[in-house]
Structure formats: C-alpha cells, structure tokens
Amino acid sequence: MIGRTPSHQLTGVGGIYGWFAGIRRGAREGAIGQRVPLVGARGASPQRGPGYTLAVICKQGQFNANPMTNEVGGMTVSEQADAGATDANSPELVAYETLDEGRIARIWLNRPDAHNAQSRGLLVQLDEAFGRAEADDTVRVVILAARGRNFSAGHDLGSEQALAERAPGPGQHPSFRSRGATLEPIMEKLYHQEWHYFFENTCRWRDLRKITIAQVQGNAISAGLMLIWACDLIVAADNAKFSDVVAVRLGMPGVEYYAHPWEFGPRKAKELLLTGDSIDADEAHRLGMVSKVFAVDELEEKTLEFARRIAERPTMASLLIKDSVNAASDAMGYTEALRHAFHVHLLGHAHWAAFNENRWPVGQPPHVEDWRDAKPTKVARRDTP
C-alpha cells in the first residue's frame, strides 16, 4: 500500500530529490538495475534500516520517436514497432493540443500525481512534442504548461516508474540501451546520458523555431527550472515558487542546465544555491525572470491571452527578436558558461561516486539533512537570515 506523505513534505526536493505521491519502506537502487539495502556513505553513520524507495501512483508511458531523427533511443520507429516496445494503450506523460485554429500549441506535462517529476519517458515525449510544434508551420507560439498543483518536482530517478524504465528486460525504456547507457563505468554512462537527456535537450529547446511561454503554478524545483529557463517567456501563478536544492541536498553545484547566474543574478544565485531557499513569483518578476504574475485560478486563461498577443506578431520578426536576444546572451558567454558548468556538475557526481566507492547514488553527501525527511524550502526574504 502506498501511503500519502504529509502535506509538508510536498515542498521538498523533486525527482530523485524527493517529493511524490507516496513513500514506502523498501530497497534503494544500487548499481543501475540492481536493488541493494540503503547504507550510509563511507565515514557516515548508517542510514535507517532497510531505507526507503520513492513510489508514485502512475503508469508507464509510451515512448515516442525524436521527430528530428525518427529514432527512439537508437531504434527507428519501425524497429520499435517490430520489437513491440510501444503500448498504444499507455497514457500520455505529455499531452499536446492546438488552439486558435492551430496558431497556438499547448504542451502539458501530464504526471500530476507525481507532481510532474521528469521520468525518461516524459522527457522523450516532451522532446517529441516540441519537435511536433516546431515542424508545424501554422503554430506561432508554444505554451509549456503542467497539470496538477505543481509545475515540476524535477528529475525522477526514484519512483517505481523510473526504476522500471532503467531495469533490464522487455519493459526497459529504449533510451537506456543507447547513448552511453550500456557503458560499464558508472560516470561515463552518466556523462553520456545526462549530456543528451538533460543538457543538450534543454539547449535545443531554447533555440526552438517558435516563441515559447512557460506557464508555472506551484513549485518549480531543480530540473523544473531547466524546463522554464529554456522558454522565451515565463508566466507564473501568484502561488509559484522557484528553487534548486540539488546543492544543499545532493552535493552538486546545481542542476545540469546552469542558468542561475543569468536568471537570478550572480549574488542572488549564490545565495539561493548555498541556502536552498526559494523565491516567490513576485521576487522572480522583480528579478526579470518572470514576465507576468496572474492569480492561480486565472493562470490558464491569462496565459492564453498573452500568447495570443505574441501570436499576432509577424513570425519572421518574432524569430529575429528571439535570435538577436539569444545571440547577445551568447556573446556574453551564456552557452559556454552552461557547458563549463555541466562538466563541473559531472565532477560533483564523480566526487561522490568515488566517496561512495562507486555505489549508487552518485550524489549523496554525508552529514546533510536526508532529502526524504527534508522540510519545505524556505522563501528567501531580505530581512530573514
């Protein structure tokens, strides 16, 4: 039986970093595909008994092709069909719709029970949805939205679905059989996989040949920030909160797409990463990260109204504006800084992998608050330590 976590835990870290529909005692993943008891890091006190496995009330999603390559993790669509890898009855982890006679595409993260934690299936489907919108000449604006109370809990590496996606066998996601996933050294495997599915994908979405708007409600935690930062504009509900707790709870410098200094400003980025604190929608607007703040019950309607204004602009002019602003950021070192920070992120993984004697997880510092018991993120205030 999967029990509900107390409500206060729902603002902990996302994905492997924490909060889902439920949590139960069980086993913790060791080497990829292997179940091992959860033990403390070397030099630290042992973890609690048999440990915990994060469990989500969700179903396995379908895994679609990259529209640019017609591949699914190294398999073509026809090869995938021959292998019987696609289940036509599987629910969508990402939903796609068009509005206003096709001028606006809206993409929905569709794992509300898991607070839209980003499993591999979700990321592959999201890439397909962006590619579908990009290929459609009628689409002028793309809205990235999320079902449920929260935009995204971050990367999902701890739910039953995520474990099933990685586990060898007929149910394994095809992307775990290519792009470095079959390499033996754990860090080399991680380097290839995170480069493609976390970093390179996000960079490509930033340069999508459409204007993109992120529609955010509730929490956008860690990798949730990566998704919204890839968009041209961000619209937030008045209950939105933004945080990256990877540094304080996993020992990394931050998520793989390291845009924090550009989005928050250098000193604010250091503060938020060193404390794990969040900022609310009003502060995000003051910093220039968020364009509009709407009441949560009006978010969908007002975001669509905003998108309609943008869709009225000539498409060529819109793209020239997008490319000119992106080029100005790149001239100041944006993309190169992201690339450098990605490799520093992997250095963090390598450090903790060595510290833990190459046992999973490759990000688990000793003597820090256990992310399974972590309290809600604290909102950064100018008059509060």
* 181-223 residue pLDDT tens: 888 888 888 889 999 999 999 999 999 999 999 999 999 999 9
3-state helix, strand, coil in the chain (%, to 5): 40, 15, 45
Using alpha carbons, select from 189, 163, 202 the residue that is nearest to residue 58.
163
Which H, E and C letters describe 222-288, residue by residue? CHHHHHHHCCCEEEEECCCEEECCHHHHHCCCCCCCCCHHHHHCHHHHHHHHHHCCEEEHHHHHHHC
Domain boundaries, the chain: 63-152+175-355
pLDDT of residue 3: 32
Residues 324, 180: Cα–Cα separation, whole Å: 35
Kindly report which listed range (59-63, 81-85, 302-306) carries the lowest average pLDDT score. 59-63
Average pLDDT over residues 297-309: 98
Residues 179, 52: Cα–Cα separation, whole Å: 29
- Structure pTM? 0.76
What is the third-level CATH fold of 63-152+175-355?
2-enoyl-CoA Hydratase; Chain A, domain 1 (3.90.226)
Contacts of 292-297 spanning 24+ positions with Cβ under 8 A:
292/235, 292/236, 293/235, 293/236, 293/237, 293/238, 293/240, 294/235, 294/236, 294/237, 294/238, 295/237, 295/238, 296/217, 296/237, 296/238, 296/239
Q: How confident is the model at residue 162 (pLDDT cuts 50, 70, 90)?
A: confident
pLDDT digits (tens, 9 = 90+) for 62-112: 323 333 333 333 443 333 333 333 344 445 899 999 999 999 999 999 999
Residues 385, 383: Cα–Cα separation, whole Å: 7
261 pLDDT more than 90: yes
Q: How confident is the model at residue 360 (pLDDT cuts 50, 70, 90)?
A: low
Average pLDDT over residues 243-250: 90
Kindly report which listed range (44-53, 129-138, 168-177) carries the lowest average pLDDT score. 44-53
Q: How many CB atoms lie within 10 A of CB 238?
A: 15
- Dig out the tokens for 280 from the structure: 């609310």
Residues 158, 38: Cα–Cα separation, whole Å: 13
DSSP 8-class letter at 11: G
pLDDT of residue 296: 98
Phi, psi angles (nearest 5°) of residue 351:
-60, -50
- Dig out the tokens for 82 from the structure: 């021959």
The interaxial angle of helices 315-331 and 334-355, nearest 10 deg, is 60
Share of the chain above pLDDT 70, in %: 72
For all residues of the chain together, what is the average pLDDT?
78
Q: Going by C-beta distance under 8 Å and a sequence separation of 6 or more, which residues neighbour residue 16?
A: 54, 154, 155, 156, 157, 158, 162, 250, 361
Share of the chain above pLDDT 90, in %: 54
**Residue entry with tokens 């002019």:** 317
